[in-house]
Amino acid sequence: MKKILSVLLSLILLVSCSSTPEEKNSSSHFQTSQSSGETLKIVAGSENKELEPIIEEYAKANKQNIEIDYLGSLDIMRLLSDPDIAYDAVWPASSIWLNMGDTNHILKYQETTSQSPVVFGIKKSLAEDLGFVGKDVTVKEIIDAINSGKLKFTMTSATQSNSGASAYLGFLNALAADKNGLTSEDLANEDLQNEITSLLAGVERSSGSSNWLTELFLSGDYDAMVNYEQLVIATNKALEEEGKETLYLVYPVDGLSISDSPLAYVDKNDSAKEEAFKKFQEYLLSDEAQSQIEKTGKRSAYGTVREENRDIYKKDWGIDLDKTISPIRFPKAEVIMEALNMYQSEFKKPAFTIYVLDYSGSMGGNGGYEQMNEALEQVLVPENAKANLLLGTSKDLTYILPFSDMVLGELMASGNGEELDNLYQELSENYRPETATFMYEAIDEAISILKNNEDELKDYSPAIVVLSDGMPNGPMDFDQLKESYQSLGYDVPIFSILFGDARKEDLEEIATMSKARVFDGRSDMIKAFQNVKGYN
């Protein structure tokens, strides 16, 4: 869902850490009543939200309208293949996505605006217990800690978010035979495959967004998080304010990636727009703006931090600004894509997903039924899922519970091939919109499935995904659902896709209970389903 931010500082607070996931807007407009007439439209990674006060200040001082849409870095890469791209500039987390996406050579003036290493943030007491404090830590030592059962962590999806992709490529680089760059031969090596699978088995919750991962971490009781140094610093500030234990930053010495936050102009032969962009970029690279950027926890464009800003980067947290850090060398584009496909279909922890789908009568009258089928075709049909980097592993378990005034059936498929395709065909051919919306009862049935498979779940990433276009109107109430959910005794997110006249408050209540989030499917249900898969 998009919300508009004016240049009023009070509205900027909407993107503060106190916001709920759905309140975190995916678009920000910085407008002035005395604009120059040229609006800069920028698509940026979500980590750049931290810079909004700096951008707002520039917009007001220079009478410049700026519109920013926030997307994942991999989505930005895909946008660059569109010759009619609707943006004047792109600002992902890493230049690898520009190098891979700019096949039409439409970008100019690409410059690094800041740097932030991708690190492990581990509770200080646990980091001490693991022997990680005050020393260089290798990826192999991290794998040993995971294999011993001492370390679990949260991380963004490598196929949906730059921080996850960068960390994953760093891990692979450390495990590769040739440290000069990951190759296809490395990816085919059985020892590497076993080691990266062991490492990713330590992921206990995933996310499609680096910013939301920090919110998830702060809302739960997790031991560690893989994220940008900038966001681990922000997390530690919040933990300190709450009187909680802070995280110790571990920089994998043989598998470290750095986000270089490149800003580039999309050339459309518009000289006025080009000059507006160059002026904005020049400001971001100025001493004044760079110092402000450092205050957010990002290092400068040169990887350094001015003396007056160093107190933000605390040594007690494991940050040593005087230590030279050596990032990995990213592999060739074709190797990166091969690695991402293998992450999704072979290496990541398999998913145990239960789709709870609304087949109430209203789904037939508002186009919801057709849109839901189109979305499921993209997620469930293997060839479509693979094209969107959403194909699961051969061990995935997928359940579907269609419901109206009762659960209409229980469909199940294992793996990522023919069974999944058959499941989609059965859904599209045999189920039609019927009567009421017994949503709580259907979710309760999903919880029962999890309970019946409890022994298997330790090796899976479980999630429930609910799509509804109406208010729950069965005999079960939310308090009864909450009691059922809490009886699980472990962490399972219940994601919701909002559609039609569904009451957002009902879905947010479920998401808050399960440390999940609500996705808006009203304008693009296919994209909403794709986003959900990025969190599982």
Buried b / exposed e along 136-161 (16+ C-beta atoms within 10 A): ebebebbbebbeeeebebbbbbbbbb
User: By C-alpha distance, which of 179, 203, 171, 176 is closest to 187?
Assistant: 176
Give this prediction's pTM: 0.89
Range of the domain at 328: 116-258+316-340
Q: Are residues 320 and 418 in the same domain?
A: no
Label residue 63 left, alpha or beta by phi (over 0 means left) and psi (-120 to 50 means alpha): left
Q: How many CA atoms lie within 13 A of 267 on its CB side?
A: 9
Asked whether the predicted pLDDT for residue 414 surpasses 90, the reply is: yes
Question: What pLDDT is stored for residue 264 in this prediction?
Answer: 98
Least confident of 26-30, 57-61, 389-393, 394-398: 26-30
Tokens of 300: 């400068």
Mean pLDDT over 87-111 rounds to 95
Note whether residue 4 is domain-resident. no
Q: What's the total number of domains in the chain? A: 3
pLDDT tens figures, 302-355:
999 999 999 999 999 999 999 998 999 999 999 999 999 999 999 999 999 999
Question: What is the 8-class DSSP label of residue 171?
Answer: H
H helices, E strands: number in the chain: 23, 18
397 near 414, Cβ under 8 Å?
yes
Same domain, 389 and 529: yes
Question: Would you state the pLDDT for residue 42?
Answer: 97
Can you tell me the distance from the alpha carbon of 177 to that of 174, in angstroms, rounded to the nearest whole number? 8
Give the helix, strand, coil percentages of the chain, each rounded to 5.
Answer: 45, 20, 40
> 99 and 142: one domain?
no
Same-domain check for residues 120 and 110: no
In a domain, 187, yes or no: yes
Give the per-residue pLDDT at 279.
97
State the pLDDT confidence band at 535, using cuts at 50, 70 and 90.
Answer: confident
Residue 26's pLDDT band, with cuts at 50, 70 and 90, is: low
Query: Residue 230: its pLDDT value, please?
Result: 95
Evaluate whether 450 touches 492 at the Cβ level (below 8 Å). yes
Q: Report whether pLDDT(480) > 90.
A: yes
List the single range of 112-121, 126-135, 210-219, 362-371 with lowest mean pLDDT: 362-371
For 217, residues 6+ apart whose C-beta sits below 8 A from its C-beta are 154, 225, 235
Of the given ranges (156-170, 298-312, 368-382, 482-496), which has the lowest mean pLDDT?
Answer: 368-382
Residue 472 one-letter amino acid: P
What's the pLDDT tens digit per position in 224-253? 999 999 999 999 999 999 999 999 999 999
| Domain assignment of residue 333, yes or no | yes
Are residues 269 and 328 located together in one domain of the fold?
A: no
Please indicate, yes or no, if residue 1 is contained in any of the structural domains.
no
Query: What sign does the dihedral 162-261-248-211 (CA atoms) show?
Result: negative
Do residue 416 and residue 435 come from a single domain?
yes
CA distance linking residue 238 with residue 244, whole number of Å: 9
Task: Pull the structure tokens for residue 408.
Answer: 């209409």
The whole-chain average pLDDT of the chain stands at: 89
Under DSSP, is residue 300 helix (H, G, I), strand (E, B) or coil? Answer: coil
CATH of the domain at 516: 3.40.50.410
Q: Do 335 and 192 share a structural domain?
A: yes
Q: Which amino acid is at 497?
A: I
Residue 388 DSSP label: T
Q: What is the mean pLDDT of residues 139-166?
A: 95
The answer as to whether 53 is a domain residue is yes
Residue 16 has pLDDT above 50, yes or no: no
Cα distance between residue 70 and residue 92, in whole Å? 9
CA distance 223 to 220: 10
For 118, list phi and psi in degrees, rounded to 5: -95, 120
Is residue 274 one of the residues assigned to a domain?
Answer: yes
CATH number where 277 lies: 3.40.190.10
Nearest to 46 by CA among 218, 203, 227, 225: 227
Residue 5 pLDDT greater than 60, yes or no: no
Q: State how far the alpha carbon of 418 is from the alpha carbons of 65, 413, 423, 461, in Å.
A: 51, 9, 9, 22
- For residue 53, give the DSSP letter: H
Q: Are 141 and 198 in contact (CB under 8 A)?
A: no
Answer whether residue 522 is part of any domain.
Answer: yes
464 with 400, same domain: the answer is: yes
Q: What is the pLDDT of residues 186-223, one digit of tens each?
A: 999 999 999 999 999 999 999 988 889 999 999 999 99
Determine the average pLDDT of the residues in 50-66.
Answer: 94
**Domain match, 276 and 369 both:** no
Which pLDDT band, with edges at 50, 70 and 90, does 11 fall under? very low
91 and 240 housed in the same domain: no
Domain check: are 408 and 335 in the same one? no
Q: How far apart are the C-alpha atoms of 104 and 80, rounded to whole Å? A: 8
On whether residue 2 sits in a domain, the answer given is no
Give the DSSP per-residue string, 103-128.
Answer: TT--EEEEEE--BEEEEEEEEHHHHH
Q: Do 466 and 358 lie in a common domain?
A: yes
8 Å CB contact between 520 and 498: yes
